[in-house]
A = this chain, B = another copy of it.
């Protein structure tokens, strides 16, 4: 069925930053290998930039540079458009223009896919072109393809991932050195792991976009960033980290996509959580990413690697370019968006997990009885209680059995109103205990 094609496949690149430069470099350095693997050479048709005068780490023939991205993506000779600009606009308009002109698209744009994936996927389907986006989640780690294709015959129950390298670096530093959040953030910024404005990372926006994409694929349903419950790591203290460590846990920012017990809905959330040090995700250090998938038949799988960076992201982009190029030569397309299951995203209150709660309590008899009563009132069952410190400095540390987020929230509200509770020091979810 394959056409033998000697003619080069022309690639238009949108964006000439860290990732774009590496894509150009790899297309050049590995040209012979790529041609052999595809069955036809790749040719860079043009690079759309906003600021043409800027100095780049990888040079290209200046005649290829253009500021007219719209003209580039609709140019008749272009086969494949690679979008590494990021953000919603103009990326979305350019991708749509490319698809409407019959081009296949490779993108690393998690924000756009999480906000308006439906529009982009529909345009790909309507125009019978490819949309590949391996680089949008967890950088170099092959994850989208395995989840869309290798697990196509399986039933995914849960995805538990460390999908943001910046926050993993910060939490890992806090864990290994006892640093505070702001000290660890400063170090991450000095090393280039965190941006000057770290909001997108430390508040969990980046991870939430990736969680939306993963949940959509895992559960064959449409999910947007707005469906994701999101909490960042800015309020994690050195004391939280040390307390977790003492109990054999480590705090990670997790993206969790989990089916409800009846299988008819699922939840998507990003928040810091305590996981046992024996869990495979606990060993993910520095800025690495890893995604743990629990499927009905396959069991427990984990995918580990570099979640960001120019070269790793470019590797994922190149893999997609090869796939799209092969498909074009064969006159076919890869898998379309799969949303047939159309499951509901349940509200955060219905999420069921365990909780670790630290309370600063008055030094009086009967305190534990009154605290325990408040948990019982909401049907939240306590697994362990332990008193830390003595006298006026005493803290009560409780770990619950599995309870709904709504019940736990109501419990915490009730505790705050008790005169004997001076402060709710921390509330942290406990995850991954059934999978060591």
Contact = CB atoms under 8 A, between A and B. Distances in A.
Interface of A: 1-2, 22, 26, 30, 33-34, 36-37, 128, 134, 140-142, 145-146, 149-155, 220, 280, 283, 290, 295-306, 309, 311-312, 314-323, 326-327, 330-333, 335, 338, 340-341
Nearest to A145: B150
Contacts of A323: 149, 152
Contact of A301 (B34, B145, B304, B330): B304
Contacts of A314: 153, 297
Contact of A283 (B153, B280, B295): B280
B154 A319 contact: yes
Nearest to A37: B152
Copies held by the complex: 2
Nearest to A300: B305
Nearest to A146: B142
Given A22-B297, A297-B315, A301-B140, A1 B322 contact: no
A323 to B, nearest CB: 6
Contact of A26 (B153, B290, B316): B153
Q: Which 9 A-B pairs have the closest CB atoms?
A: A153-B318, A142-B150, A142-B146, A297-B315, A140-B298, A152-B322, A301-B305, A302-B304, A298-B315
Given A152-B319, A220-B37, A315-B153, A333 B300 contact: no
Nearest to A327: B332
Given A140-B299, A142-B146, A151-B319, 13 more contacts: A2-B332, A37-B220, A142-B142, A142-B151, A146-B150, A149-B322, A150-B319, A153-B315, A295-B315, A296-B315, A297-B315, A298-B312, A300-B306
A326 to B, nearest CB: 7
B304 A280 contact: yes
Contacts of A142: 142, 145-146, 149-151, 301
Binding site secondary structure of chain A: mixed
A311 B1 CA distance: 34
B305 A302 contact: yes
Contacts of A134: 150
Most buried by B among A295, A296, A305, A321: A305
A65 B134 CA distance: 42
A96 to B, nearest CB: 20
15 contacts: A1-B332, A1-B333, A2-B332, A26-B153, A30-B155, A36-B338, A36-B341, A140-B301, A142-B149, A142-B150, A145-B146, A146-B150, A280-B304, A297-B311, A298-B316
Contacts of A152: 37, 318-319, 322-323
B322 A297 contact: no
B26 A333 contact: no
A210 to B, nearest CB: 17
Nearest to A311: B297
Contacts of A154: 315, 318-319
Contacts of A309: 299
Contact of A306 (B22, B298, B312, B317): B298
A319 B147 CA distance: 10
A398 to B, nearest CB: 30
Given A22-B297, A333-B1, A319 B140 contact: no
Contacts of A151: 142, 315, 319
